[in-house]
Amino acid sequence: MGALSVEGLNLASDRAHRNRSTAELVERVLARGEGSLASNGAVAVFTGDRTGRSPKDKYLEDTPAVHGKIDWGKVNQPISPEQFDTTLRIATEHLNKQDEVFVFEGFAGADIKHRLGVRVVTHLAWHALFAETLFIKPGSASDAGDGSWTHDWTVINAGTHKLTAEEQAELGVSSPIYIAQSLEKRTVVILGTEYAGEMKKSIFYAMNFDMPEHGVFPMHCSCNISKADPSSVALFFGLSGTGKTTLSADPDRALIGDDEHGWGPHGVFNFEGGCYAKVVGLTREKEPQIFDAIKFGSVLENTIVDPDSRVPDYENVSVTENTRVTYPVDFIPDAKIPSVAGHPKHVVFLTADAFGVMPPISKLTPEQAMYYFINGYTSKLAGTEAGVTEPVPNFSPCFGGPFMPRRPSEYASMLSERIRAHGAKVWLLNTGWTGGPYGVGNRFSLKYTRAMVAAILNGWLDGVETREHPTLGLHMPVSIPEVPDEVLDPRNTWKDKAAYDAMAAKLARLFRENDTKFTMPDAVRAAGPRG
């Protein structure tokens, strides 16, 4: 390859590996001691002291061109152009000192009319392998274009360099980790953390900013489609650990994608070329598609591998509960490639309720759909972010607050317009706790949750009788095939009914406190809990 010039980086041909094959990248990972080969062929790596995202250490460059479009606050923390340039300088100086640099060039967006060209620069071979797995590689099966590549966004990953005390003082921070993003320069800089999910989510953030200006609604959701009926498309919204990947991996349906999608004028499309699945407790019996997708070309993060047999131990969470694997979408049997489909018939919101109060399934009115989407209630699960060691009740607007640069009302309006235009039905599924809160109750049975999803998708629930929850106002089906009737009303699963009522009232109050942050129509606000 010839020399590349990227943001001041010295990428001469004798040190830069550009779009190497999977086999070549795996060879470099092993030769450099960055990881080992598991018995299933996956590369097992560790991400250092950060095993989840670091949202408190992420910053957005504030410029006149973007200022009025951003929902500034704890998620979107502003920095000056000078601070961004300082970050960029520190990162490039670090990478320019490395003997080897790896460059990946690919795409985000399976729809060729709505995609961004992505360049990732890193000196860890396994980061390049991760990028090759997660994004769309030119000329691959997931690339619906002619194999050519155009450049839009650059990710400069210098995550092995932690900010020195002097650099922290220069940037005005007290953390060795610093992630900076410029929407105007279309550049991401990562310092101090080797957690690869930062690359993935930074490009999702970019899509969440860029796509609305092109008539595309960006969504933090998984998506699948019936193998027998291509008009039966379903979306599953939810934060990390709520079940997006698990529930969209269905042997009777073709996977579109497991995490990030756009809903455009002609239907939905995957932003990515791969999946990023949690593997804690993974078994072939429970999740056969995901289990069998872990093979050569996959990357296992923070998963303990037996030193003799090289067999991964998915029950071992000694490093983190946020053990993960990344693999190309086409590693899932019968996945739809390229990952595009028509307009959805069903939209499912997933929440992992740590209070044990939410019904396992609710049918939402259009007003309730907007209320629960804007509030985005769930629980942060252990390991998904730095410092989270057990489920924490959390409101995340649009079920993706950490990745949304624009105001929640803008995304909610886009969803509302599409639901009404295409007649999609909306459901709320609780994949969290029942019989009590976290520490007392148990998580809902995956077997029952799958049966509920099947009942939604095959139309069995379209006209089902429902009962209204007295506090939350949600409409709970009274019967679903293969699911015990008593678990459909969460109050029935608690031994202490008074304790349930008190916890339900508490959750309702939290909803009402949270919804004051947002401007919404009176009918939508009235569709919330009675707290």
Based on the number of CB atoms within 10 Å of its own CB, is 150 exposed (0-12), middle (13-18) or buried (19 or more)? Answer: exposed
Q: Annotated active-site positions, please?
A: 53, 201, 220, 240, 244-245, 259, 324
**Element at 270 (helix H, strand E):** strand 267-270
Distances (CA, A) of 231 to 227, 234, 253, 418, 460: 10, 10, 12, 16, 17
Sequential DSSP letters for 398-442: GG-GGG--S-HHHHHHHHHHHHHHHT-EEEEEE-SEESSSTTTSE
**What does R_g of the chain's alpha carbons equal in angstroms?**
23
Q: Provide the token pair at 86.
A: 């300082």
- How far apart CA 103 and CA 155 sit, in angstroms, is 10
- How far apart CA 260 and CA 257 sit, in angstroms, is 7
Q: How many CB atoms lie under 10 A from the CB of residue 475?
A: 20
Sequential DSSP letters for 300-339: EES--B-TTT--B-TT--SS-S--EEEEEGGGSTT--SS-
Q: Name the residue with tokens 């830069």.
A: 16
Q: How many CB atoms lie under 10 A from the CB of residue 145?
A: 15
Q: Name the residue with tokens 């973007």.
A: 66
Cα dihedral across residues 66, 68, 72, 75: positive or negative: negative
Distances (CA, A) of 419 to 62, 157, 235, 340, 413: 33, 38, 12, 18, 10
CB 333 within 8 A of CB 289: yes
Please give the distance of CA 163 from its chain centroid, rounded to a whole number.
27
**Element at 290 (helix H, strand E):** helix 288-293
Prior bond to 176 cis, omega within 30?
Answer: no
